[in-house]
Structure 1
Amino acid sequence: MERQVLSTGLKALTLNLDQSTYGVFAEIGGGQEVSRAFFQAGGASGTIAKTISAYDKQYSDVLYSNQQVSKRYVSCQRLEEMLRCEYDQLVGVLQGKREKPTRFFAFADTVSTINYRKDNISHGWIGCRFQLKQEDEPNEVIIHVELHERDNLLQQNTLGIVGVNLIYACYFHHDRPNSFLQSLMDNLSPDRLDITMIRMNGPQLAYVDNRLLAVQLVKNGMTSAIMFDRYGMVQEPADMLYKKNVLAFRGSFRPITYAGIDILKSSYAIFKRDEDYDKKTTLSFCEITLHNLLSQEVDNIDERDFLDRVDLLNGMGQNVMVSGFREFYKLVAYFSGFRINKLRIVIGVDTLEKVFDKTYYTNLKGGMLEAFGKLFPDNMKMYVYPAIDEESGKIRHSGDINLPEDSAYLYRHLISARKILDIEDINEKHLSIFSPMVLERIQNKDSSWEKLVPVYVAESIKSKKLFGYTD
């Protein structure tokens, strides 16, 4: 059934006229835009018990900070404390004292909107703790947003809309997670904001797979990428990447093979030789794109299949990124948008040759030069994993690729500037292993595939019947 999209005002009015919903609004940083939408809709006395804006940091600390909570004001920890404090106070004051049956809620946001110099990162945490049934334990939904508009008033307007969308979705779309997600962007165009993370939990939301929701954020075009830490937990990218060194290896990992493991180990070994390397501040990612690499064709997207691959990679101790990027320069540009230190992209020599194909950059006014300006910022290097030449049987390195003369000049410059480096300490016996080959053997019941992947991966595939495996 097609979902009806209501205006922001009608959503707020619908909640105002619902005599069972009653709550508080606590908003920091972007003004009181969400509560304002409810006041402007009319009938707000039926919904709003209190509004507060602890804009001063000292007031915010007094109300919402304790020794266990982060001192960062725009953080998930601060939002969680705001929701806990406001909800507990609301229920403590009004529980059992309302004449009509009441489902209480607390809405909160802590946001950094654009400053007058326009040099800060505009983002925020937004959440709602709410009852679906009277006197039940509350459910909770938290999202993180990145604001793209370059004007403070426009960002405030966006916050008001997404806040109303969130509260409305909590009461009217809680039983349909994908509709819930899509409704958060009602009356908003995708260029206004990204929703980079969502977390839903509570007695009526226990059925929700938050990792599946994360993949659907990318699938629905609501964000460019999502990240899982090595323990399989969804993380907000800006928090995870802050001041980190990043090593990213793109692949299908369907499944990860001994070759993939060798690529990760050998490329990380190069990174460790950097003089300022620090294990505590270095993250490696296996990046899975929703698209075929450097292809205009879109994969048939099966969210559960992506999560199966995430599980396998997490089991191997890897952080995982799922993105909607096709071209490598867009992947690099994404990382460059965060405050990271060094970036290293791992690529196979055959794929490197494709990266220098000008036909992939015809959509850019500056063509290949524009793309490569984004692909090779100052903090970026590319590590190249060799391959076996099918005709000669010899190992091909970065110096063995064939390029047109105009591209060759640019390539030689990048080589001489050490922006492209060969991965040398490899296990040559793994060079002939490819994920598509292993996948084909799995589906054809050719048991030889088991020798091409780590034991943990083979056992997981067989026990969970992954990738079309059958006994």
Structure 2
Amino acid sequence: MNNFFAEDLTLQGDRVTEQKQALSDKTLKINLNKNIYGSFAEIGAGQETARHFFRAGAASRTIAKAMSAYDKQFSDAIYTVEPDGRYVTENRLHKMLNHEVRLLEERLDEADNPNRIYFSYANTVATIDFAKKFKGHGWVGIRFQNEPKGAFNEIILHIQFKENDVLLQQRTLGTLGVNLIYGAFYQYHDPKKLIYHLYDHLDKDQLEIDTINFSGPAFKEVDNRLMSLFLVKNGMADAVMFAPNGKNILPANTLFRKNVLLLRGSFRPVTVVNINMYQKSLNQFLAKNNLLLENTAVIFEITLNNLLALGGVDEQDFLDRADLLCAMGHTVMISNFKEYFKAVDYIWNYSQEKIALTIGIPSLIEIFDAKHYANLSGGLFEGLGRLFKHGLEIYVYPFLNEEEQIITSENMDLHDDALKPIYNYFKDQKQIIDIHNFEEKNLKIFSHKVLQKMKENDETWKADVPQIVAEMIEERKLFDHI
């Protein structure tokens, strides 16, 4: 037994040594490049990134300055005060990069080194608290040139720490920083490769990257929504979000202290039924709980599982769906959450306000199907417990069956009649609620039927979708529309 543990510790030590050597190789390659020169500004978790460059040797060839403004008064004096008083924000990171790049330009004479390309790396993070209740998060970024005297490019990302120890989080941040700087100079021509290698010598259970944005002339062809999709597709993020303007946004900021109404669907394309479901359920959700619209976030969710339904992730198809929803003023979330309870858990991490789902009858039936919870030790009961534990409300849109009968939560059939008492319990608690005042004439409208009409050149499809959607589909030839 002792030999076993000794061997295990030796293997762990060997892995750590290999990681250190690999990071040293990256930093030394940068340090030995006489044309790469810049500064480091790190707040909140030590100077872990700069430390790797100092330890690798020849750091004087790369580092113009390394600093940490830990004291809030010093930090405010250098970077000014944030309107909301916070320090771990994207705005703070931009101020840090602006300030440090300006100093580089003011204090270094390009005439002495005409071939230099400059950079400024910065991070502002909060590591795990003493109570270990909040694991911490941070903003990390680099502004850099990819040619002498060229315009600056920028890569900004937000991370969520997953480890339960401050020192481990610091090491993780240092490794990420090295990977980001190395990628900026040696992998910028392939952003997906750059993102993939941000996890070099890191595991996905150490941190999550839930937002990334590329900007500048080197990334003029990059669509940051596709970069976000890449994060979810490769398990680097559980979910990413896009604002109505199509820009990447931080889920934590969007959901923080908000009531949330979540609508999941394929939205291929958005139909008048989707909008009817959204409008009616939102009105009932606000009225039932006496909520204000300005304090409520409505999220249209497309799951990765849904994107894969076509046999693979079609990036253009994804962009088409996101564009249609954003054009209508909606916030879009792409997630890895196959089960609804995972989506609810995710939202609850950022907001402990009221949460509601808007779904159709078929989805409600599936929620009460035990086969979807086979991977949980507590099976269906654990899954339902996690779904409803935060007072979740489910607003249900009716369904028209083959016999032209309208099916609601009152007369629908479960897969297993033995679950009826459990189902009735949530009904009695008013956590399963029928959507009223629906448009009965629209119950025969489905996305797949709209696509079929389009394929058959049946112009009546235009009446099945919002006007702006029909116009965009025709103008941009979406979904193979001719």
Place the TM-score, normalised by the shorter chain, in its bin.
over 0.9
**1:368 to 2:380 alignment:** yes
Quick one: which amino acid aligns to residue 282 of structure 1?
T
TM-score (norm 1): 0.94
Gap regions ≥5 residues in structure 1: none
| C-alpha distance in structure 1 between counterparts of 2:439 and 2:318, whole Å | 28
| C-alpha distance in structure 1 between counterparts of 2:306 and 2:111, whole Å | 58
| C-alpha distance in structure 2 between counterparts of 1:181 and 1:193, whole Å | 14
**1:396 to 2:411 alignment:** no
Q: Post-superposition shift, 1:219?
A: 1.5
What per-residue deviation string (whole Å, max 9, x for no partner) do you get for residues 96-147 of structure 1? 2644621111000000111221112411000001111112221111000111
Q: Post-superposition shift, 1:179?
A: 0.8
Quick one: which amino acid aligns to residue 127 of structure 1?
G
Q: Post-superposition shift, 1:275?
A: 4.5
Pick from 4, 11, 14 the counterpart of residue 29 of structure 2. Answer: 14
Quick one: which amino acid aligns to residue 214 of structure 2?
M
| C-alpha distance in structure 1 between counterparts of 2:314 and 2:109, whole Å | 44
Q: Post-superposition shift, 1:278?
A: 1.3
Pick from 222, 239, 247 the counterpart of residue 233 of structure 1. Answer: 247
| C-alpha distance in structure 1 between counterparts of 2:466 and 2:113, whole Å | 63
3-state SS of the aligned residue for 2:175? helix
Which stretch of structure 1 is more off in the superposition, 308-317 or 249-258?
308-317
Quick one: which amino acid aligns to residue 151 of structure 2?
E
Name the counterpart of 1:259: 273
Q: How many residues align?
A: 462
Q: Is the 8 A contact 1:241 1:340 kept in 2?
A: no
| C-alpha distance in structure 2 between counterparts of 1:277 and 1:261, whole Å | 20
Q: Post-superposition shift, 1:341?
A: 1.3
| C-alpha distance in structure 2 between counterparts of 1:120 and 1:40, whole Å | 31
Q: Percent identity?
A: 42
Name the counterpart of 2:157: 143
Q: Is the 8 A contact 2:233 2:304 kept in 1?
A: yes
Measured at CA, do residues 255 and 128 of structure 1 come closer, stay the same or move farther in structure 2, by a change above 3 Å?
Answer: same
Quick one: which amino acid aligns to residue 181 of structure 1?
I
**1:182 to 2:196 alignment:** yes
Name the counterpart of 2:442: 430
Q: Is the 8 A contact 1:292 1:299 kept in 2?
A: no
Gap regions ≥5 residues in structure 2: 1-18
What per-residue deviation string (whole Å, max 9, x for no partner) do you get for residues 231-266 of structure 1? 222101001111111111000000011111110111
| C-alpha distance in structure 2 between counterparts of 1:165 and 1:27, whole Å | 15
**1:160 to 2:171 alignment:** no
Pick from 36, 44, 51 the counterpart of residue 66 of structure 2. Answer: 51
| C-alpha distance in structure 1 between counterparts of 2:231 and 2:90, whole Å | 18
| C-alpha distance in structure 1 between counterparts of 2:310 and 2:164, whole Å | 32
**1:333 to 2:348 alignment:** no
Quick one: which amino acid aligns to residue 272 of structure 1?
L
Q: How does 1:22-421 map to 2 (within 5 A)?
A: 22-66=37-81, 70-96=84-110, 98-99=112-113, 101-292=115-306, 299-391=311-403, 393-403=404-414, 404-421=416-433
| C-alpha distance in structure 2 between counterparts of 1:400 and 1:42, whole Å | 73
Q: Post-superposition shift, 1:71?
A: 2.6
Name the counterpart of 1:442: 454
Instruction: Quote the RMSD (CA, aligned, Å).
Output: 1.8
Q: Is the 8 A contact 1:110 1:125 kept in 2?
A: yes
Measured at CA, do residues 298 and 364 of structure 1 come closer, stay the same or move farther in structure 2, by a change above 3 Å?
Answer: farther
What per-residue deviation string (whole Å, max 9, x for no partner) do you get for residues 269-295 of structure 1? 1122045411211111111111139xx
What per-residue deviation string (whole Å, max 9, x for no partner) do you get for residues 144-193 of structure 1? 01110111111111101111111111111111121111111111111111
The structure with the greater share of residues assigned to helix is 2
What per-residue deviation string (whole Å, max 9, x for no partner) do you get for residues 358-405 of structure 1? 0111110011111112111224211111101212x1211112222324
3-state SS of the aligned residue for 2:139? strand
Q: Is the 8 A contact 2:211 2:248 kept in 1?
A: yes
3-state SS of the aligned residue for 2:313? coil
Measured at CA, do residues 99 and 229 of structure 1 come closer, stay the same or move farther in structure 2, by a change above 3 Å?
Answer: closer
Q: Is the 8 A contact 1:291 1:299 kept in 2?
A: no
| C-alpha distance in structure 2 between counterparts of 1:206 and 1:10, whole Å | 30
Quick one: which amino acid aligns to residue 344 of structure 1?
A
Q: Is the 8 A contact 1:228 1:319 kept in 2?
A: yes
3-state SS of the aligned residue for 2:382? helix
Name the counterpart of 1:467: 479
Q: Is the 8 A contact 1:75 1:110 kept in 2?
A: yes
Q: Post-superposition shift, 1:299?
A: 4.5
Which stretch of structure 1 is more off in the superposition, 20-29 or 318-327?
318-327
Q: Post-superposition shift, 1:7?
A: 2.4
Pick from 443, 458, 466 the counterpart of residue 454 of structure 1. Answer: 466
Quick one: which amino acid aligns to residue 354 of structure 2?
K
Q: Is the 8 A contact 1:215 1:226 kept in 2?
A: yes
| C-alpha distance in structure 2 between counterparts of 1:309 and 1:282, whole Å | 23
Name the counterpart of 2:14: none
Q: Post-superposition shift, 1:337?
A: 1.4
| C-alpha distance in structure 2 between counterparts of 1:371 and 1:39, whole Å | 50
Measured at CA, do residues 399 and 178 of structure 1 come closer, stay the same or move farther in structure 2, by a change above 3 Å?
Answer: same
3-state SS of the aligned residue for 2:329? coil
TM-score (norm 2): 0.92
Q: Post-superposition shift, 1:340?
A: 4.2
Q: Is the 8 A contact 1:140 1:201 kept in 2?
A: yes
| C-alpha distance in structure 1 between counterparts of 2:365 and 2:289, whole Å | 30
Q: Is the 8 A contact 1:19 1:100 kept in 2?
A: no
Q: Is the 8 A contact 1:9 1:41 kept in 2?
A: yes
| C-alpha distance in structure 2 between counterparts of 1:314 and 1:453, whole Å | 15
